[in-house]
Amino acid sequence: MIALGLEGSANKLGVGLIRHDMTTTPPTVTILANLRHTYHPPPGEGFLPKDTAQHHRSHILQLVKDAMAEGNITPKDISVICFTKGPGMGGPLTSVATVARTLALMWNKELVGVNHCVGHIEMGRQITGAENPVVLYVSGGNTQVIAYAEKRYRIFGEALDIAVGNCLDRFARVLNLPNDPAPGYNIEQLAKKGTKLLDLPYTVKGMDVSFSGVLTYIETNAPALLASGEYTAADLCFSLQETVFAMLVETTERAMAHIGSKEVLIVGGVGCNKRLQEMMDQMASQRDGKVFATDERFCIDNGIMIAQAGILAYQTGYTTPLEKTWCTQRFRTDEVFVAWRE
């Protein structure tokens, strides 16, 4: 089986092709192509849905052609077309879904609508080999602590307001950092030069976290702190990272203790952050555990993760009828019936 995966829930447009060799047990998985094109707004600005959707419409057809050329396949080789059904930004989601529907009708292929969060989890499991980990899903739009139980990815804790990636991205705008390659990445590089820790609000409520307070505090006070010379921009990035990542490590450790797991899988765009991985590894090692993470090819939104989650569902007999290929900005991780796992 070969699946074509289309991802466009935010500013990353991804097209992936994955092959499952069903003659082996378990199936041998081969990544045939994993291409991405990113919309970068000017420094100090976020990406608007209408502009992001226009970017996706402008580049997706060429990206599909390039992926098929790289994978050396033709439409007749494709078994199923998978697309992101949600969650995400409405305009970009529907732009990509329209292409998925069109290709399915042109090539007479089945469709599978994929939950974006489940796509991250399944690609992370495939790449790292993690068996039954606590999953920390951290991105610009989502922050969740997840564990698998009884055919669902159960959410043990989550952000009550904004996602951790959104918190970092918005502070990058305050500092007027570039959006290329990503604002969070540029904060990470600047934080490495920071040496002075600013005491920031730390909000953990049971298993849930809140980032709006810490963001408001640092946004409000940053101009005066920088003007006085008391703190540098690097110090503020360092302080923000240390504070929000500590909150994530705390809730993840609590989930590990609850389910008795010794594995942590970090997925999502913020999962690329080396400091987050380091802090999580320090915690896990104290519990005789292990941290699994991927690099930017699979952490950051991509089409191959949608292809992987979609082909797993397709192998169980699941498809999405054309009349149900609408997109939704609100699609909970625990809404998905995970038929492919024991």
Q: Encode pLDDT of 140-162 as tens digits.
A: 999 999 999 999 999 999 999 99
Q: Which residues are annotated as a binding site?
A: 116, 120, 137-141, 169, 184, 188, 273, 301
Task: Specify whether 215 is located in the same domain as 174.
Answer: yes
Report the distance separating Cα 81 and Cα 96, nearest Å. 12
Torsion sign, CA atoms 278, 280, 285, 288: negative
Q: Is residue 214 part of a domain?
A: yes
Q: Could you tell me if 287 and 303 lie in one domain?
A: no
What value does the mean pLDDT of the chain take? 97
Q: What is the mean pLDDT of residues 129-133?
A: 94
My answer on whether 160 and 278 are in the same domain is: yes
Terminal CA-CA length for the chain: 21
How many residues make up the chain in this entry?
342
Please report the pLDDT score of residue 94 as a whole number.
97
Shared-domain flag, residues 191 and 248? yes
DSSP letters spanning 126-162: HHH--SSPEEEEE-SS-EEEEEEETTEEEEEEEBSSS
* Rg of the chain in Å (alpha carbons): 20
- Return the number of other C-beta atoms located less than 10 Å from residue 2's C-beta: 17
For residue 27, give the CATH number of its domain.
Answer: 3.30.420.40
Q: What would the pLDDT profile of 279-338 be if each residue is shown by its tens digit?
A: 999 999 999 999 999 999 999 999 999 999 999 999 999 999 999 999 999 999 999 999
What three-state secondary structure class fits 302? coil
Is there a domain that residue 241 lies in? yes
> Which H or E run contains 211?
none
139 and 22 in a common domain: no
Query: Residues forming the annotated binding site for substrate?
Result: 137-141, 169, 184, 188, 273
pLDDT bucket at 215, cuts 50 / 70 / 90: very high
- How high is the pLDDT of residue 45? 87
Q: How many domains does the chain have?
A: 2
Question: Using one digit for the tens of pLDDT, what is the confidence trace for 89-100?
Answer: 999 999 999 999
User: Is 342 inside any structural domain?
Assistant: no
Annotated binding site for a divalent metal cation: 116, 120, 137, 301
The rounded distance, in Å, linking the Cα atoms of 200 and 197 is 9
Does one domain contain both 38 and 95? yes
Is the predicted pLDDT of residue 342 greater than 90, yes or no? no
Segment 232-286, tens digit of pLDDT? 999 999 999 999 999 999 999 999 999 999 999 999 999 999 999 999 999 999 9
What are the angstrom distances between the C-alpha of 28 and each of 2, 66, 313?
A: 12, 24, 16
Whether residue 188 sits in one domain with residue 113: no
Instruction: Indicate if 136 and 274 belong to the same structural domain.
Output: yes
Q: What's the maximum distance between 2 C-alpha atoms anywhere in the chain?
A: 67
pLDDT number for residue 79? 98
**Judgement on whether residues 305 and 282 belong to the same structural domain of the protein:** no
Inside any domain, residue 231: yes
- Specify whether 192 is located in the same domain as 255: yes
Note down the domain range covering 194: 131-297
Distance between CA 240 and CA 254 in Å, rounded?
22
4-15 per-position pLDDT tens digit: 999 999 999 999
Instruction: For residues 169-185, give the mean pLDDT.
Output: 94
